[in-house]
A = this chain, B = another copy of it.
Amino acid sequence: MHKVTPWEVKGNIDYDQLMKEFGVSKIDDDLLKRIKKKAGALHHFLRRNIFFGHRDLNFILDEYDKGNTFFLYTGRAPSGHTHLGHLVPWMFTKWLQDKFNVELYFQFPDEEKFLFKNNLTLEDTKKYTYENMLDVIALGFDPKKTHFLVDTVHANLMYPEALKVAKRITFSTVKAAFGLTNESNIGSIFYTSMQAVPAFLPSVIKKKKIPCLIPHAIDQDPHFRVSRDVIPKLGYYKPASIQCRFLPGLAGMDKDGKMSASEESTAIYTIDDAQTVKHKINKYAFSGGQATIEEHRKKGGNPDIDIAYQWLLFFEEDDAKLHKIYADYKSGKLLSGELKAILIEKLNTFLKVHQQKRKAAEKKIEKFMFHL
């Protein structure tokens, strides 16, 4: 049993079931071929079904074919330091920006987690907005084509547009879509209208209808399910989306369907040092291996539930290497400790470079802030 809302993800997630619940379409082979034809290649997140669902992606590609180029919209609601799970949709968004040469609006709704979590102040979320921005910039987005929108900083621009959305959404609707109740605070009830804004704001600014594609983790789908009904009524295109599953937490897929930023032992942060990464993976990463080396050599491990292997699905781009790891682990040739060592090496190599770029990003934030 799973529970998936934009604010809570629990249990071992059945993604096929979730697509049915939400009404999301599967990215099938025809669509993969279509993307490959245009992009020249397929990102390993597409090859491995990590980005697995979509809404109206064919519309985006049809318009693209007609020369009506889309823009990308994704975001991050700051509530803590960036962990590796957060990077997944951003890395893919970066790939889309590069392959299709398109603008990206990146929203930091710094009020969202303030409204939904008792213990967070707006000062906290502003601090994390800054920290999270460094990670986004470190991924290498094009500053000329990437625009940060911060809800409390860009409220003059966003609040009036959010009002137009809000006028067309009733409390009954948000109650059904998000499970809000009569005891929910009125800020949390209003919030979804702010998340709708970047999906049509570029069309407002440029005074023409521009298609919008939103890469996001599937838990955010309820927001766009609601706003897709409203945005066409305001005179803009219904936004399309491409949706990914979660990087599982260290404790295993049945326990942590989604990595939690608030539990240190289930997550690896982009600011963790090499020792910490090694320690967390060795200590906490759920293993699909056997209890003893002898037993492991005999029966082999189970990569399908092994967190080290599952993470390599996200972070090892080379299919051949990955297949070999899978086969060796399954046969018992590769031990759990060795598998973990491969992951530790992979992540620490990545994080070393990322942390340098992250440091350099401190001077670049202003370049990414959206200005009219």
**Residues of A in contact with B (beta carbons under 8 Å apart):** 111, 114-115, 122, 151-156, 158-160, 162-164, 166-172, 174-175, 180-190, 192-193
B residues within 8 A CB of A170?
A: 182-186
B residues within 8 A CB of A164?
A: 122
Task: State how many copies of this chain the complex holds.
Answer: 2
Tell me which of B155, B162, B175 contacts A160 (CB under 8 A): B155
Name the distance in Å between A172's Cβ and chain B's nearest Cβ.
4
Query: For the complex, what is the distance from the CA of A154 to the CA of B163, rounded to whole Å?
Result: 14
Tell me which of B114, B160, B184 contacts A171 (CB under 8 A): B184
B residues within 8 A CB of A151?
A: 159
B residues within 8 A CB of A193?
A: 186-187
Task: Provide the main secondary structure of the chain A interface.
Answer: helix
User: Does B122 lie within 8 Å of A166, measured CB to CB?
Assistant: no
Name the distance in Å between A193's Cβ and chain B's nearest Cβ.
6
User: Does B166 lie within 8 Å of A115, measured CB to CB?
Assistant: yes
B residues within 8 A CB of A111?
A: 159-160, 163
B residues within 8 A CB of A184?
A: 170-171
Query: For the complex, what is the distance from the CA of A193 to the CA of B168, rounded to whole Å?
Result: 19
- Apart from A114-B167, A156-B156, A166-B187, list 9 A-B contacts with CB within 8 A: A115-B163, A122-B160, A154-B156, A166-B186, A167-B185, A167-B188, A170-B185, A171-B183, A171-B186
Name the distance in Å between A107's Cβ and chain B's nearest Cβ.
15
B residues within 8 A CB of A180?
A: 171
11 contacts between A and B (CB under 8 A): A154-B156, A155-B155, A166-B185, A167-B185, A169-B185, A171-B184, A171-B186, A172-B182, A172-B183, A189-B190, A190-B190
Closest 7 CB pairs of A and B: A166-B187, A190-B190, A155-B155, A155-B159, A152-B160, A172-B182, A155-B156
Query: For the complex, what is the distance from the CA of A142 to the CA of B190, rounded to whole Å?
Result: 36
B residues within 8 A CB of A182?
A: 170-172, 175
User: Does B186 lie within 8 Å of A169, measured CB to CB?
Assistant: yes
Name the distance in Å between A370's Cβ and chain B's nearest Cβ.
13
Name the distance in Å between A204's Cβ and chain B's nearest Cβ.
12
B residues within 8 A CB of A153?
A: 156
Name the distance in Å between A280's Cβ and chain B's nearest Cβ.
33
